[in-house]
Amino acid sequence: MLKLLIVEDQIDLAENIFEYLGEDRFSLDYAADGLTALHLLATQTYDIVILDLMLPGVNGFEIARKIREDLHCPTPIIMMTALSDINDKEKGFDAGADDYLVKPFELRELKLRIEALHRRHAPQKPVLKAGDILFNPGTLEAEFHGLKAELSGTPARLFELLIREYPNFLSHQSLCDALWGTDDDFEGKSLRTHIYTLRKSLKDKLGHGMVKTVHGRGYRLEPPNAE
């Protein structure tokens, strides 16, 4: 799931973007001005920033420059503005933008640019394999015999831990330590809940639950052809 920061003072446009992208594989945060955006970027990590130029107080050119020079933040930036002159575009790229989208625009075009920009900047991670199961840590996509399941959150982290350890099992304690830094009773119950969610996702999308309980010990990944 991609985490986006939308920096836009026009509430109606921001709401349209949230409504359109919120239905897909995006997690979105919002800032109505540049200073709020800088605070969010200083305290959180995002995959892409969508930055309006004509903001109250500090404009988008200056915000982009502060993102790069003050925060030393490499997060890709898509600037969006009604300013379509080539000089404005040049100024935007010089300030640190990676892409420049002229208003008005189709929301589908914004989505396509987000996905293309992420592909260019996302670090490439090797695909993990256990039997005929494949898992891409970069996209959080599991695949089995052509069927695919896009995982997210804690179940995705669980699946990555299990496939990296395959064919060995992981104890309850080691899983809790890796996920939360603890193995107390509360997190043990939470672990069982996330295992259930992971199994259900794999069963629904790939046809097999694939996570085997090693009674009294922990869990391990079990490819269907190994059953």
3-state secondary structure labels for all residues of the chain: CEEEEEECCCHHHHHHHHHHHCCCCEEEEEECCHHHHHHHHHHCCCCEEEEECCCCCCCHHHHHHHHHHCCCCCCCEEEEECCCCHHHHHHHHHHCCCEEEECCCCHHHHHHHHHHHHHHHCCCCCCEEECCEEEECCCCEEEECCEEEECCHHHHHHHHHHHHHCCCCEEHHHHHHHHHCCCCHHHHHHHHHHHHHHHHHHHHHHCCCCEEEECCCEEEECCHHHC
In tens digits, the chain (227 residues) has pLDDT values of 789 999 999 999 999 999 998 766 788 999 999 999 999 999 999 999 999 999 998 999 999 999 999 999 999 999 999 998 999 999 999 999 999 999 999 999 999 999 889 888 766 668 999 999 999 987 889 999 999 999 988 899 999 999 999 999 999 989 988 887 765 555 567 899 999 999 999 999 999 999 999 998 999 999 986 54
Q: What is the pTM of this model?
A: 0.56
What is the residue type of 75?
T
Q: What is the pLDDT of residue 181?
A: 72
- According to the CATH classification, is domain 2-121 in 3.40.50.2300? yes
Residue 185: its pLDDT value, please?
Answer: 56
Quote the pLDDT of residue 152.
87
Instruction: Give the pLDDT of residue 41.
Output: 94
Residue intervals in the chain for CATH 3.40.50.2300:
2-121
Give me the pLDDT at residue 184, please: 55
Which of 136, 133, 145 has the alpha carbon at shortest distance from 210? 133
Residue 123 pLDDT: 64
Pick the CATH number of 128-226 from 1.10.540.10, 1.10.10.10, 3.30.950.10, 1.10.730.10: 1.10.10.10
